Structure 1
Amino acid sequence: MRISQLPSSINPSQKVQVIAPSGALREWERFEQGVKIWRDRGYELGIPEDLSQPWGYLAGTDEQRCQQLIAAWNDPKSVAIVCARGGYGSMRLMEKLDWQQLHDHPKWLIGFSDITALLWGFAQHKGIGGLHAPVLTTLGNEPARSQQQLFDWLEGKVNAITLSGEGWSNGKATGVLLPANLTLATHIIGTAICPDLENVILAIEDVGEAPYRVDRMLTHWRWSGHLQKLKGIAIGRFSQAEVSTPSFPMEDVWRDRLSDLGIPIVSNLPFGHDGENAPLPVGCMAEIDSDNGTLRYSR
């Protein structure tokens, strides 16, 4: 994977466009909390009147959501796009989006979970790195440290971030950082938005996936040969993974499926659902140190 072009730093008082490219918006109170955090910071948020026009489990038809994305990206006054929520649906846009309709100027695209498909799509088709970071419906539940880290990165107040977790004692490596929701990334394999995973440090998280389903996904990655291409793996939070039937612990699944790869791995890093969700820029250079249990990335 090639290094992506990271957008310029942004400043309060500038315009940030809101889109709902995935699931229908139902958590309106949490959405308003996220909007308030951005506005209290000083940003002007552009919220389209048709932000969420529920169509089944989606926030609108594919055509409506595509047009919302195109309009937000091509808005000359906006410096960033923040997604309202995840859920499911952004993959459908990647199947239909006409990339020629999108201007080439880079701006931050912010979101995680289902937004993985957009982040990978823009990196692959436009060479532009977005930010794997809280959506509006999760931002209000983030600890203050995580909220501050998000704005510090976007506003250029920090040029590097170091995250600490549990190292697996297999040295260090440098590569291009590619964050993702594991389920989305697994379904992206073999599509037009899947980048070449050579030279990649893959950062993964997920929610609501039982250990056996994570096992199945990682086995698919192994069998497809994609895990063997990676320079390193950074594992974030896999929350809401409790099961009532006999099971391996999640940590045991990771070690069983990954420890024989011979690459640096760090687990229990502070990103993902239901807790601190550190901002992870797509396509920047990163260093993973599995002896000291750190992931460090910079502009």
Structure 2
Amino acid sequence: MITTPPYLQPGDLIGIVCPAGYMAKEKAAECIRVLEEEWGYRVRIGKTLGGASETYFSGTAEERLADLQEMMDDPEVKAILCGRGGYGMTHLVDQLNFKKFRKQPKWIVGYSDITLLHTHLYSNYYISSLHAPMAGAFNEAGYVNRYVQSLRQALEGKWARYHAEAHELNRPGEAVAELVGGNLALLAHGIGTDSELKTRGRILFIEDIGEYLYNIDRMMYQLKRAGKLKNLAGLIIGGFSDMKDTERPFGADVYTIIDNIVKEYDYPVCYDFPVSHTERNYALKVGVGYKLKVTKSKVMLEE
């Protein structure tokens, strides 16, 4: 059974950290304001948000590890919101100590590079986490945006019920299973490690940004050859933004690439679902049971 961390109550404390890429403190100002003034929480800022780092990372690996570990271990902190993703979680994940966290689990919120932490939590400890908008989304979309609001609803324990438009490549069907997934690059990166995602009998969701089309093809084949696509209950293809092509064209767009790789399977598949690196990014609880229903006219995903 999946362990679901306690949902938040007014006045609860949310910690904000940057375990990977650097983020200026002012870019989280609107997020902090909304969390405190609009949503009624308290906020603690970690040392890695707007720190003194002059590199791509928010701090050294040791500094990032200590900041995240402190938030995970502090019983007063009820949720950890990542400021941004980027790259760097792979430096930390094997050194994190989950002893206290397992006794008092809390929501870890993020996407992109944070996918590796989501998969690690799920595959090793069966603890749910939130693949959801991060601090920067409060600037880009505005906190009244439906996708940022889906984060608030998830933290408060309201059950999700999402709808999406039909897509010509969708494969109709229905599935009820635990929902797992995240950024395609990180899912492929985790194969063969302690963070490898269990997918058999699950609904898998994937998304990505800024990749060459041939690399999407390669990573999808990596999942396929590793057996991660064969026995799914269902497959959700999210946004693949800012895709790049080579000088000699690859010859297919990203959704056609994916469709060609999974067309032999008979589970329901939907494309262009609102989970992505753009503002179209619904909060999804990793490991929680969802119902996916794909019809010719629409897609529904609900807890």
TM over 0.5: yes
Q: 1:44 corresponds to which residue? A: 42
User: Gaps spanning 5+ residues in structure 1: where?
Assistant: none
Cα gap change, 1:214/1:74 in structure 2, threshold over 3 Å: closer, same or farther?
A: same
Q: 1:282 corresponds to which residue? A: 286
Q: 1:161 corresponds to which residue? A: 161
Per-residue deviation, residues 219-273 of structure 1 (Å, max 9, x unmatched): 1111222211322110111111143632421221121112222211111111111
Q: 1:134 corresponds to which residue? A: 133
**Aligned mates of 1:192, 1:100 — CA distance in 2:** 16
Q: Percent of aligned positions with the same letter in both sequences?
A: 29
Q: 2:7 corresponds to which residue? A: 9
Q: Secondary structure at the match of 1:46?
A: strand
Say how many residue pairs are matched.
294
**Aligned mates of 1:204, 1:63 — CA distance in 2:** 30
Query: Are 1:56 and 2:60 matched, yes or no?
Result: no
Cα gap change, 1:84/1:227 in structure 2, threshold over 3 Å: closer, same or farther?
A: same
Per-residue deviation, residues 24-69 of structure 1 (Å, max 9, x unmatched): 224x443222222222322211003453342732222222222211
Superposition misfits of 4+ residues, deviation over 4 angstroms: none
User: Gaps spanning 5+ residues in structure 2: where?
Assistant: none
Q: Which amino acid aligns with 1:290?
A: V
Q: 2:114 corresponds to which residue? A: 115
Q: Secondary structure at the match of 2:136?
A: helix
Query: Are 1:236 and 2:244 matched, yes or no?
Result: no
Q: Which amino acid aligns with 1:155?
A: E
How far is 1:279 from its partner?
Answer: 0.2
Equivalent of 2:191, from 189, 192, 198? 189
How far is 1:295 from its partner?
Answer: 4.2
How far is 1:282 from its partner?
Answer: 0.6
Q: Which amino acid aligns with 2:122?
A: A
Is the 2:4–2:127 Cα contact (8 Å) retained in structure 1?
Answer: yes
Cα gap change, 1:24/1:47 in structure 2, threshold over 3 Å: closer, same or farther?
A: same
Is the 1:198–1:230 Cα contact (8 Å) retained in structure 2?
Answer: yes
**Aligned mates of 1:56, 1:160 — CA distance in 2:** 38
**Aligned mates of 1:208, 1:189 — CA distance in 2:** 21
Is the 2:181–2:187 Cα contact (8 Å) retained in structure 1?
Answer: no
How far is 1:101 from its partner?
Answer: 5.4
Cα gap change, 1:165/1:92 in structure 2, threshold over 3 Å: closer, same or farther?
A: farther
Relative contact order higher in (CA < 8 Å, ≥ 6 apart): 1
**Aligned mates of 1:257, 1:53 — CA distance in 2:** 45
Equivalent of 1:255, from 234, 256, 259? 259
Is the 2:133–2:147 Cα contact (8 Å) retained in structure 1?
Answer: no
Q: Which amino acid aligns with 1:296?
A: L
Per-residue deviation, residues 107-138 of structure 1 (Å, max 9, x unmatched): 11100010001111222333210100011122
Q: 1:35 corresponds to which residue? A: 32
**Aligned mates of 2:29, 2:263 — CA distance in 1:** 42
**Aligned mates of 1:135, 1:164 — CA distance in 2:** 22
Q: 2:152 corresponds to which residue? A: 151
**Aligned mates of 2:172, 2:48 — CA distance in 1:** 50
TM-score, normalisation: structure 1: 0.91
